[in-house]
Amino acid sequence: MNTSRTRFYRDKVNGKFMGVCAGIADYTGVDVLWVRLGTVALTMMGIPFIVPLYFLAGIFAEKKPASLYVDREEQMFWQRVRQSPSRTAREVRSRFRDIDRRLAEVESYYVNSNPRLSAEIERLR
């Protein structure tokens, strides 16, 4: 598995202060607004370790590389991998099976509609 795409990074580009909430949102696929509201709510509820954890993550987490994802589709794929690797593997296998089935249909159509090619294949057997 590509570890650079499955780790947590601070997202300074989309972040407001240190990029920790934006990094959590990118890592989990949750909207950054909800992550920020959750952080504020937990802080207001008096959970004492939220603020130090935020600053520790802001200090020790690496900044997100600019070329981490090619496009939005790739970003969503890696978010799904982080959320459920086995489900993502099943989805990829399903896509490959579908591609294989469609290719077999195209091959069958082409061979059946081309008698010369069909005769050549039979002669090779």
Q: What is the pLDDT along the chain (125 residues), one digit of tens a residue?
A: 556 666 777 877 777 888 888 888 888 878 889 999 998 898 889 888 888 888 888 888 877 777 777 777 777 777 777 777 777 778 888 889 999 999 988 888 777 777 787 788 788 87
Q: What's the confidence (pLDDT) of residue 97?
A: 92
What is residue 37's predicted lDDT score, i.e. its pLDDT? 92
Alpha helices (H) along the chain: 20-28, 32-44, 50-60, 72-83, 85-113, 115-124
What are the structural domain ranges in the chain?
1-69, 84-125
Amino acid 32: pLDDT: 87
Tokens at residue 91, please? Answer: 């989805």
Beta carbons of 41 and 75 less than 8 angstroms apart: no
- The structure's pTM equals 0.56
